[in-house]
Structure 1
Amino acid sequence: MAAHAQLRRQVRQLGETLGRTIAGAHGEAWLERVEALRHLGKAAREGDLSARQKMAETFRTHNDEDLLVLARAFAQFLNLANIAEQHHTVSPAGRAQQPYPNPLPDTLERLRTGGVTQAARQTAVNKLHMDMVLTAHPTEVTRRTLIHKYSELASELWHWDDGRDPEATRDADRRIEELVSQSWHTEEIRATRPTPVDEARWGFAVIENSLWDAVPRFLRDYESTLAEHELDLPLAARPVRFSSWMGGDRDGNPNVTAAVTEQVLLLARWKAAELFADTLHQLGSELSMADCTEEFRTLAGDGPEPYRALLKSLRNRLLQVKEAINRRLSGDRVALEDCLLSDDALLTPLQACHDSLCACGLDVIADGRLKDTLRRVHTFGTGLQRLDIRQHSEYHLNALGELTRYLGLGDYTHWTEEEKQAFLLRELASRRPLLPRQWSPSPETREVLDTCRTISRFPPESFGLYVISMASRPSDVLAVQLLLRECGVDWAMPVAPLFETLDDLNGATETIGALLNIDWYRGYIQGQQAVMIGYSDSAKDAGVLAANWAQYRAQEALVKLAQTHDLTLTLFHGRGGSIGRGGGPAHAAILSQPPGSVDGGLRVTEQGEMIRFKFGLPDLAVRSLQLYASALLEALLQPPPEPQPAWRDLMDRLADESCRHYRAVVRDDPDFVPFFRAATPEQELAKLPLGSRPTKRKKEGGVESLRAIPWIFAWSQNRLLLPSWLGAVEAIRTARDGQDAATLDEMSQDWPFFATRLAMLEMVFMKTDADLSRAYAERLVPAELQHLGQTLADRLLADAATLKALLSEDTLMRSDQWNRESILLREPYIEPLHWLQIELLARERQAEREQWPASRVQVIEKALMVTIAGIAAGMRNTG
């Protein structure tokens, strides 16, 4: 494809650079060995079955240390290919060929010519709000050390694009050679799991290295594009905000404690103070003019350079905050108030600078870096990001049960829902404290209370939402609000129930409706309600199609409920990177949501490796924000149609049928769990130090206790990607072979929700490989379970064929050549890693059975971890 010619050239150049590095480190013979395997991988992807056999035989003859070198080589090839593609995405040549080359200008022009009035467009601009919630879900397998090198490498690729300055190109060649060599000689796998604080620091690094520059750039571009359409972006507008779960998400992670949350909140403020202090230093060096208003001179003093004087004073205050935080984190008895600086403490003097400059006719100066700084304050604040707190509803239930037993009131955990609500509302209305002073709760309950007390010590702007996992009843929400109040939180922290199982999604409207019928509750929320929609556990529970339909119906019903009660509803989408966890192209996902679902803004998790792929470089971050903003404007002004009754009826039946097929395999087949554990590296994933959180919520239990992320991650490794398609196409096939073919055609043509589901399935099947999944099963699965591997591979092929027939296509993703080429580009490098992984899994399991020497096992496990990381890099959206 012509659009990818430049990308392929740069991938080839980077590959050659890596080849020279490998030859320098291990000799030319090693480079020839790697190249021979790469050619076999390419031949295998082109249909040469003998190439796969040759790879399998080659790897069986190599010793463990050699397999480690080969695994590292192909994993590095994939990382370099990703860097090249990230750069190509934002290069002029790449942007020109993408589905949305100029998303904001194109969308605004389309809306204008489509008859949308200027007033309506301005209203949509005023309503537009994006809240990107950065999470540390453990699918980011690349070390921060290497991410920094990769970012530098990507910046050098601009010189390869241009080529007009031979000296600059030669310098870039040398620097790229150096960075590739550094990467090769750096350990790619962490020695230990990151702590929650480590994860938070990684999130801070994304803001510092990318978003700090990207946000003002995005807003300048957004403002100028709006101005061309006679639309306005107020200086105080906050179209984009950033929140985080890193250090606040304690659901299933015992490593996130109240002490950790406080440390993360302080470190975030330390980083914000550092970034703003540096920014004010640069700003002070520029604002040397003397002209100012009398009002400003009263504020800044009588010096010859009033703006510099005020900025210096403000910077000194930030440095004092940094010092106070340092001392408190070191254990000194520093008052928390000395560590806190309000947003207004920055905004008020900076706004005064801006107003004075404008009043003196110096608008061009006021609207330069000073305006960028003001917008950074509005976006990031003195807390850098807003921290969400997430906890499982069971913890609140048990805390109140322990409390009521101590007080002699009975056992809250055994009360009916009506009894719980009556108790909670009675206590919420009471002015006396509920928590006894002399009570010594259990460690679990103490941790719940300490978390609430930590919230009480920080200003409201430090936090986003308190998210309750597995919420299913009104009492789950009221319980948190009571615990917060009892622990000193004297402001109405937004509490968002997370509806994530199929049953909870189906009952979401009933739960929120019951809350809205409570006078006290309506007074608490003041017309603002947040609800989190879970994608991961619902898909794991019921299969992807049934989950998608339940999510759609829940959102649709909640939107109508919010309209009835005249409140602003913010739907918080807990998406992952993979299709099985709600992932996929953001633009299409937004435009396939129910009408009205983004009226209260868009709040969405950006998880694991997807943070780096969307926001890891400033240019990528600007591009991602443009795509989000353009899709939101379109969804606000030209929402998708409501489904016709016939479509709803058919979707109900498709959801039921797909769920039945899915659960028949995942829940009902007694061979499934042992097959899953044998055919994928699920057990071995626990050894990969990906994140601070355990792979299971509970130590005991099978697949049902496994977190959705390793569940998806494991299936992506053997290329079956089972959770992302199982049941969906079988249900569609049944309908198509019956009386519903015409309705399916209508839905795929006229309903964005259904069309997007089909497009996501296309992408899934494009990434699957039935032959590879069979190879995993044949080598790794006991003979008595082999039948299931064959059955699932056959079902995969049949479903892919059905989808192509439904779409009247002979090739998957024919209408999405950009993403199709992206997938195909990586395949020759991923292919050898799969065969390496199969061999290493076989050896690792044999080593466990036969108790091989620990030194040998360590090499095998390291090589295996490299293949897992490499395949994840190649598959991109893995978790």
Structure 2
Amino acid sequence: MFATTDTSIWASAQSERAVARQLEPAPHSDPRLWRAGSTPRQVLDALWASFQRAVKVHGELSAPIGETATSTEMRLKLLLMRQLLIDVALNAQFLRNDPNRPPAAASGAEPIELPLRLELGVHCQETEYLRANVIEGQQRVLSALGEENETTRSVVLDEALGALWAALWRQEDVDLVTTQILYANRVYDALPRGLDRALGALAAAGVRPSRPERWFAGYTWLYGDRDGRPYDTNAHTERVAFALEDVIRSNYRRDVAALRVAFPDEPLYAACLRRLDSGDPDAFSSPDQFSATLRASAQASDRRVQDLLRRVAAFGFHFLKVEFRQNALKFEEVVDIMLPPATIERWLGERVAYAKLSAPKRLRLLTALLQDEDRNLPARIWEDYWSATEPGFRAKQDAYAGGDYIELLKSDPDYIRAHDARMTYDCLQMIARYGDRMTMHGIAELEDIDAALALLFLFAAAGARHAVDIALQPEDMDGAVALEDAVARLYENPAYREHLRVRGDVQYITFGPSDTGKAGGKAMHKANMKIARRHRQIAGAYGIELVPNIVIGHEHARCNGPQGEILEEYGAADGDVVRYMLSGCIEMRSFLLTPRLAEQSIANILTAQGLRAAEARRLGPAGRESRAAEGREIDWLAIVRHYKSRFFDHPSLPALLKAVARFDLVRATAKGTRPPTRNFLIKDLESDPASIRAIPWTRAIMLCGLHHELIGASTLAGREASELAGLAKADRTFGRYVKNLAYAAARSNLDLAWRTLRGAPLSRADIEALGAEDAAGAADPAAALLAFVHLEHVAAKRVVFKATRGREPDDAWAIRTDEVLADWPELRAEVAWKEAALAPYHEVLVATRRDPNALSRSAIHDLYSGYLLSANTDLSLIHPETARALNWS
């Protein structure tokens, strides 16, 4: 029976029985407990009781017909179900309790009118570890909780829980385009009400946004992000673009058909239905034509028509724009293969390959080529290269038909170089063809400004000069510092300045991607926030508007935290436009799982943006400068340098990764076409940590209990407690960093890390002795480096204690998790709940490290998915005000 199986899954080991008792469902859970005022745990208990009731209809808990499972597989399946319902319980209470009510305007404050534009990145990608049918099942359960009629809710909820359980057993792969459309449709459905809620909240604070036709736009990187994705093609990208257009036109037809039913005497709606068919001889040539026809109807002021007009203004006929990103190194490689040394000698006076040139010389060369009187010079250089290359390339292409990219890179790198050049050229031409929906190209891993000129040159070679805006994306400390130092020279460069003038004197810079946190920890995100503000000042001095493209996330390598705080610290609200990328799977589900959740999320982001923008304008230049100065008492880059020298760049890191990081689980669950490392020729993934992709890196480390983002805290641990406490109160940037440290320390599980490495935790004396060794020369370099990480964890707890208590702890080793998070009780409660939910996984994780073949592929997927659901950023960290409104007792 179900109850017997349920008890067994929580009591997997003697050490976890205390946790198991906490996790067992309440015996009399009432499904009505989902209402406001209930604790999230009570909502989970109610859901679990409903799940029990649903499966007991069949007499016992079992796999669906046609499926079989071992006891371990069934246990992991139940654990995954539990984690999914924890997620639903939190989202349900978030929906019920999030007030979205900003403070009213201060007495005497003048109402303010300001431009408002949110460009929201809705990006479905292969890092989604839940299958689409599981996401849809979660969505059904959450929607069922919103049913007002209790009798109906009970029936619908049981059906939804049964459907979710069945979905866990289905094995089909994720269809990224289908999942992308699912989330895009959530935005479509939620947009009008989300805008209304934001406008109402802003009006209460004396803020009136102007230019309503520009308030919202959406974009995606799906099949546009080519960085490290050699198997993605233009056909993939066009499939996304065509699918999005088909869906948006279908949505419009559905809404117009509803208007036609409501207003049968209005002939314009029948005409709209016909003209929305792109194959019709009189089809709308632009979204503006469609909007004009709607405005000409007699019902133009009707709320339903107004909602449709808002959607057309936001989504056009493209739904989401497809934006591109490629690694700076790829542009260097393509220009290098195109430009023969003889051409370089003509312009620079030295016969050398492009790749051998210094950055200043590359800049001189590319500027000369772009500024030449012959505007077709870049195109002719391409034509000369390709006419000489094509015959041999085509012959090899035929011979290699069906060959694998990475294998061919190993056996015939010259062929792959030509292949990449052709793919790049064709991609840039495709972008120019779809100019209404492909308007941005980012440069990842930017190290110097010559990469921006290289991309301009390649667009010109493809006959698409100035076709798109360029987004600069430095990711690690070296790139961020180099760009800040060099960007003024880029703005002074005549070729680049011409490009900016054509594009409206707007420069986009991307901040917050996962590689930033991977290569520098939480401190690198803080450093980037300061750098972003300086970028706005530099751009402003040249009459250029800076638009920060902020990547947020719930994965710990990314920039995460409350939306308003992130906007403020990046200085994003100092301008008129905010670009906010929901960069991964967890963010998508947290923001857009249901229409109500999407509506609330859109309202929250727009409200936060409007309030911060109004505050910045009311503060004036002096006040804004004072805000920008926050965080300057801390040398963030010094923390990053410590992180890099003692951990990320340390020669012992490969040994530690091989010993504890769970890349075996990451690889076994990998989807999509992006290899987990940038170094395609590498044989041993862990041997080149810098090349490992950030999300696989973060997940592999988190699965052994480590949170690397706190490393570097020891550089602050020696400061006086009174100094740290005063700084935490006076400086919001530092205060938020302290909270980030506290969270990372609380979510770290060093016992799990040591058990993964050595089978059992080590004593304090052993850890201190190992940590005192030079890991590079230690007999066991992995253990020595893990000891260093352990000492950094203790130092982080010490910093948090001193900053929040104002005194030195008696013993930093003895600081408990509840003490670390004492200043944030709602976060403490949620973390305790999540960590208890993770405890049943620990024995399995340790056992599979010793016996990697112990689990089937399906069981590994359930282990991986369930663990990550409760291991990532908590609601209380992203939405602290809402979390404070919840009942955690």
User: TM range, normalised to the smaller chain?
Assistant: 0.7 to 0.9
Cross-structure match for 1:169? 150
Partner SS, residue 296 of structure 2: helix
Matches within 5 A, 1:97-108: 101-103=99-101, 106-107=102-103
Cross-structure match for 2:29? none
Cross-structure match for 1:14? 47
CA apart distance, 1:26: 8.6
CA distance in structure 2 between the aligned counterparts of 1:758 and 1:199, rounded to whole angstroms: 37
1:714 aligns with 2:700: yes
CA contact (8 A) 1:471 1:498 kept: yes
Cross-structure match for 2:401? none
Cross-structure match for 1:39? none
Superposed CA deviations along residues 649-683 of structure 1, whole A, max 9, x for unmatched, are 6422x53145325531332252x322223323123
1:767 aligns with 2:747: yes
Q: Structure 2 vs 1, CA of residues 72 and 512 (structure 1 numbering), >3 Å: closer, same or farther?
A: same
CA distance in structure 2 between the aligned counterparts of 1:310 and 1:498, rounded to whole angstroms: 47
Cross-structure match for 1:553? 530
1:79 aligns with 2:79: no
CA distance in structure 1 between the aligned counterparts of 2:850 and 2:90, rounded to whole angstroms: 33
CA distance in structure 2 between the aligned counterparts of 1:485 and 1:367, rounded to whole angstroms: 47
Cross-structure match for 1:368? 303
Matches within 5 A, 1:345-364: 345-353=289-297, 357=298
Matches within 5 A, 1:399-478: 399-405=334-340, 408-409=343-344, 411-429=353-371, 430-432=374-376, 433-434=379-380, 435-436=382-383, 438-440=387-389, 442-458=418-434, 460-478=435-453
CA contact (8 A) 1:189 1:866 kept: no
1:144 aligns with 2:127: no
Matches within 5 A, 1:639-650: 639=616, 642=625, 650=633
Give the share of equivalent positions with the same residue, in percent.
17
Letter in 2 for 1:835: E
CA distance in structure 2 between the aligned counterparts of 1:752 and 1:646, rounded to whole angstroms: 10
CA distance in structure 2 between the aligned counterparts of 1:483 and 1:661, rounded to whole angstroms: 37
CA contact (8 A) 1:501 1:534 kept: no
Cross-structure match for 1:577? 554
Matches within 5 A, 1:442-841: 442-458=418-434, 460-489=435-464, 492-525=467-500, 526-545=504-523, 547-594=524-571, 597-639=574-616, 642=625, 650-652=633-635, 655-657=637-639, 659-670=641-652, 672-699=653-680, 700=682, 701-721=687-707, 723-727=708-712, 729-736=713-720, 741-779=721-759, 784=780, 785-786=782-783, 788-790=785-787, 792-808=789-805, 811-841=819-849
Superposed CA deviations along residues 71-130 of structure 1, whole A, max 9, x for unmatched, are 111110110111121121111xx23xxxxx233xx24x1xx2165422xx212xx2x222
Cross-structure match for 2:396? none
Letter in 2 for 1:749: K
Once structures 1 and 2 are overlaid, which stretch shifts more, 431-440 or 567-576? 431-440
Matches within 5 A, 1:284-303: 284-288=260-264
Matches within 5 A, 1:237-316: 237-288=213-264, 305=265, 308-316=266-274
Once structures 1 and 2 are overlaid, which stretch shifts more, 783-792 or 771-780? 783-792
Where in structure 1 are there 5+ consecutive unaligned residues? 31-62, 96-100, 163-167, 289-304, 325-336, 848-856
Partner SS, residue 679 of structure 2: coil
CA contact (8 A) 2:704 2:752 kept: yes
Match of 2:871 among 865, 875, 879: 875
Partner SS, residue 574 of structure 1: strand
* TM-score (ref. length: structure 1): 0.79
CA distance in structure 2 between the aligned counterparts of 1:781 and 1:814, rounded to whole angstroms: 26
CA apart distance, 1:453: 1.0
CA apart distance, 1:491: 5.0
CA apart distance, 1:19: 3.4
CA distance in structure 1 between the aligned counterparts of 2:282 and 2:72, rounded to whole angstroms: 55
Q: Structure 2 vs 1, CA of residues 366 and 746 (structure 1 numbering), >3 Å: closer, same or farther?
A: same
Q: Structure 2 vs 1, CA of residues 211 and 646 (structure 1 numbering), >3 Å: closer, same or farther?
A: closer
Where in structure 2 are there 5+ consecutive unaligned residues? 1-32, 345-350, 391-417, 617-622, 763-778, 807-817, 879-889
Q: Structure 2 vs 1, CA of residues 649 and 824 (structure 1 numbering), >3 Å: closer, same or farther?
A: closer
* TM-score (ref. length: structure 2): 0.78
Match of 1:134 among 111, 122, 129: 122
Q: Structure 2 vs 1, CA of residues 87 and 311 (structure 1 numbering), >3 Å: closer, same or farther?
A: same
Superposed CA deviations along residues 234-284 of structure 1, whole A, max 9, x for unmatched, are 574322221100110010011221221122111111111111111111122
Cross-structure match for 1:334? none
Partner SS, residue 247 of structure 1: coil
Q: Structure 2 vs 1, CA of residues 807 and 658 (structure 1 numbering), >3 Å: closer, same or farther?
A: farther
CA distance in structure 2 between the aligned counterparts of 1:645 and 1:383, rounded to whole angstroms: 37
| Root mean square deviation of aligned Cα | 3.3
CA distance in structure 2 between the aligned counterparts of 1:220 and 1:630, rounded to whole angstroms: 10
Q: Structure 2 vs 1, CA of residues 29 and 427 (structure 1 numbering), >3 Å: closer, same or farther?
A: closer
Superposed CA deviations along residues 372-397 of structure 1, whole A, max 9, x for unmatched, are 11110111121010111111112211
Letter in 1 for 2:752: L
Partner SS, residue 805 of structure 2: coil
Superposed CA deviations along residues 471-495 of structure 1, whole A, max 9, x for unmatched, are 2323211221222233232654101
CA distance in structure 2 between the aligned counterparts of 1:8 and 1:551, rounded to whole angstroms: 37
CA distance in structure 2 between the aligned counterparts of 1:340 and 1:815, rounded to whole angstroms: 58
CA contact (8 A) 1:83 1:150 kept: yes
1:65 aligns with 2:70: yes
CA contact (8 A) 1:571 1:597 kept: no
CA contact (8 A) 1:188 1:866 kept: no
Matches within 5 A, 1:383-394: 383-394=318-329
CA distance in structure 1 between the aligned counterparts of 2:367 and 2:309, rounded to whole angstroms: 42
1:158 aligns with 2:146: yes
Letter in 2 for 1:376: R
Superposed CA deviations along residues 344-400 of structure 1, whole A, max 9, x for unmatched, are 2322322333xxx4xxxx6xx614011111110111121010111111112211211
The structure where helix makes up a greater share of residues is 1
CA distance in structure 1 between the aligned counterparts of 2:318 and 2:211, rounded to whole angstroms: 20
CA distance in structure 1 between the aligned counterparts of 2:92 and 2:728, rounded to whole angstroms: 33
CA distance in structure 2 between the aligned counterparts of 1:726 and 1:189, rounded to whole angstroms: 40
CA distance in structure 2 between the aligned counterparts of 1:188 and 1:141, rounded to whole angstroms: 14
Partner SS, residue 38 of structure 2: helix
CA distance in structure 2 between the aligned counterparts of 1:183 and 1:732, rounded to whole angstroms: 47
CA distance in structure 2 between the aligned counterparts of 1:662 and 1:764, rounded to whole angstroms: 18
CA distance in structure 2 between the aligned counterparts of 1:450 and 1:824, rounded to whole angstroms: 52
Superposed CA deviations along residues 302-339 of structure 1, whole A, max 9, x for unmatched, are xxx4xx43222222232345xx9xxxxxxxxxxxx999
Number of matched pairs:
755
CA distance in structure 2 between the aligned counterparts of 1:664 and 1:172, rounded to whole angstroms: 55
Q: Structure 2 vs 1, CA of residues 494 and 455 (structure 1 numbering), >3 Å: closer, same or farther?
A: same
CA distance in structure 2 between the aligned counterparts of 1:85 and 1:472, rounded to whole angstroms: 41
CA apart distance, 1:569: 0.7
CA apart distance, 1:340: 9.4
Partner SS, residue 601 of structure 1: strand
- Select the structure with the greater relative contact order (CA < 8 A; seq sep ≥ 6): 1
CA apart distance, 1:3: 7.5
Q: Structure 2 vs 1, CA of residues 265 and 624 (structure 1 numbering), >3 Å: closer, same or farther?
A: same
Letter in 2 for 1:834: H
